[in-house]
Structure 1
């Protein structure tokens, strides 16, 4: 038991260490962890984005009203998709949808240009940015700050069939930076670099080179292969710091989990496991000052023969099952919004975002002393809302399921975390994967215990 005197008697060194603890650090079960510094709770919401394809007018994203309704319900603040120009049905659908999302407080991260545009880099970039400063600016009354979250460079530049891809990627990124910074409507919009593949190597990162002079943020893709995100992020950042050594922030513009039942095209997991992993991943990226760009909102129709695993592999299309929302129909014409099914991950994410939502002016969170004991592979973050409530997010770096074809739930023995608070406070414990209301409450106290399995818990400290 840690007494009030114990808290007040912390040495200056211990207090300094407490304030500087990296929020995702795993602690040794027999040693205490001291926390005091908090971050704004709303930062968790800002650390999440979803990929959409509203410019695919002939696919399920063509049901624009349904897509806008889903995104609003989810509570996401940022969407990512490539900006398109011209008068194609997809470009017109995108132009109609993005201002509607802006009205709901959902901003856009448009990817600008394709690597293959490099021979006409200036013209291609001008066309894309002209779409933003022209039709889009008019649609939002000139306030592109309400529409745009950030701008992004070319997509997966190291995965193209182009032996000169590093030079061409740098050319496209330099042109994006030059033109964006020369236009008053875009001058304050952050610019992320080009993205690279999940399997990016040190050699490829070194070939691409330092892009810090033509980007504000780092950009990466990191698909999580049906495993815990916690141990995968830092090694990836270590590789790509060669390209973005002075990045103000990192945007992992594509990441997430796949629920396809085939076992011959990369690891995939059941929907419930993806829900557990994904809300933990939001926290993992948040504590690293990064944005988790979930790919993607919607599945595609996919007619699968479930007779046996061989027929599943022969008929299932892996690319059709990245979505937060399932599309059970066999065709786009039949896949109307009323047939869509929200997966467990959609609900878990919505609950977490709703719990953390606290929009408003910039504020400095108050420190709050916490000492924790016990637990293996436990990660933590401390945040605060503007009304004074603190929230302690707790999750574990453990795998919870095997991939397909078994896709079996792995047993995770709970570990008990004992939490000591510097002052007696009422407490409510939330389990976003399970439900939206608290699973446990207690009156003001300086001590509580949390039995932590594979799922995220959020402790509200009143």
Structure 2
């Protein structure tokens, strides 16, 4: 037995490679790996370019642009009106900023302008063509109490607007190929009323939209229920999440926040939970904390909307930014479509240890493992570190070597050890990634 130890600050992960052994009687079922790059292609982040009193505006060049590039996401979300050449904030063109971000490799999920003028909407969509990934319906109108469309309230006004929008976009050959995602809900208990008005599954929308906040709990919390609720609208059409994440205001009680460490641990798991459920796009909320009144060092307490950032308002990193950056760098593997290999292995992991299997074009396999447990007590505002769970992986397929990554703790891979049999891995409450080398 050859012990392999990685120490990253307070976290220690062990990988033991056991020598020659007889394969156990039952056959290891082959697992179809997902393309490693599909995780990178799935992830994105929300921006608010037009808020003049936020770093998105006053620190666009010094923080937002360079940090976005460093993070490595390929998609961002903001308002469709930003493509209007006349849309300016304090004399600064928002279209110019859209172009600058697009030039460094990101495309946009554009949030609908909610105009009743469908000709104007199609004009915006046409102007967005060079930059657009998806056009998304309006944001969380299930909370509105006023007229939504032609004097109608929610739900009928929302349904009528979506139907008119979808017809207008698909009826114009310039915009017909842009995927349209249905509008989001603040509370999915309002989906049934929407469906009653729309006679679901709806006759509009190419994608269903979730806002799947876990409310200070693990990222898997309520995710399946939210998916079921939105599929009442869209049937078997693909799903996207255009808002999810964690805020770090621990004062607020009505929408639980977590510590920065806990947010980092949950962020380490979140992409894999969404990838395993075949979510097409997962947009984190949001890139940077938003101070009040343009004051860079003043963050309002008891206001969750100011604390969702992966970055502090001065541009410094929270653990969630660090872990996401490392995951995206590790799995970055662009190129033409390919069919990943399968890998045959068994695991003695308990039910609360989750896994995701990914593959790169060069044949390397990555098994991500995480303990799906609560890591923060939202009632007492105390971190709840969980001891690692020892898991044994037994592989039928042959690999020459293995090493592990701990994205939250140091990030650098451990040394490559020769593969001769079983792997014993200590699985943390963030994520550990085992790389198998052909």
TM-score, normalised relative to structure 1: 0.81
Report the equivalent of 2:184. 195
- Asked if 1:320 is matched to 2:306, the reply is yes
Report the equivalent of 1:219. 209
Report the equivalent of 1:362. 337
CA distance in 2, matches of 1:431, 1:208: 48
Q: Which of these residues, 99, 103, 123, is aligned with residue 130 of structure 1?
A: 123
Structure number having the greater helix percentage: 1
Matched residue SS, 1:383: strand
Matched residue SS, 2:44: strand
CA distance in 2, matches of 1:252, 1:109: 11
Change (3 A) 1:373 1:446: same
Change (3 A) 1:396 1:204: farther
Report the equivalent of 1:22. none
CA distance in 1, matches of 2:175, 2:300: 47
- Asked if 1:165 is matched to 2:162, the reply is no
CA distance in 2, matches of 1:299, 1:286: 26
User: What is the CA-CA distance between 1:394 and the residue it aligns to?
Assistant: 0.9
User: What is the CA-CA distance between 1:372 and the residue it aligns to?
Assistant: 1.0
Report the equivalent of 2:271. 282
Greater CA drift, 429-438 or 155-164: 155-164
CA distance in 2, matches of 1:440, 1:266: 42
User: What is the CA-CA distance between 1:416 and the residue it aligns to?
Assistant: 0.8
Report the equivalent of 2:69. 72
Q: String of CA shifts for 1:48-82, please: whole Å, max 9, x gaps.
A: 11110112234321132231211111001111111
Change (3 A) 1:219 1:417: same
Matched residue SS, 1:164: coil
**1:295-306 equivalent positions in 2, closer than 5 A:** 295-301=285-291
- Asked if 1:418 is matched to 2:418, the reply is no
Report the equivalent of 1:351. 326
User: What is the CA-CA distance between 1:345 and the residue it aligns to?
Assistant: 0.5
- Asked if 1:49 is matched to 2:44, the reply is yes
Report the equivalent of 2:102. 102
TM-score, normalised relative to structure 2: 0.85
User: What is the CA-CA distance between 1:439 and the residue it aligns to?
Assistant: 4.0
Gaps of 5+ in 1: 19-34, 138-143, 304-311, 328-338
Q: String of CA shifts for 1:107-142, please: whole Å, max 9, x gaps.
A: 10001123xx4xxx2x1x4324313423x55xxxxx
Q: String of CA shifts for 1:187-246, please: whole Å, max 9, x gaps.
A: 222111111114534534533542542111110112211110113210111122111112
**1:170-189 equivalent positions in 2, closer than 5 A:** 170-189=159-178
Report the equivalent of 1:307. none
RMSD: 2.7
User: What is the CA-CA distance between 1:261 and the residue it aligns to?
Assistant: 3.1
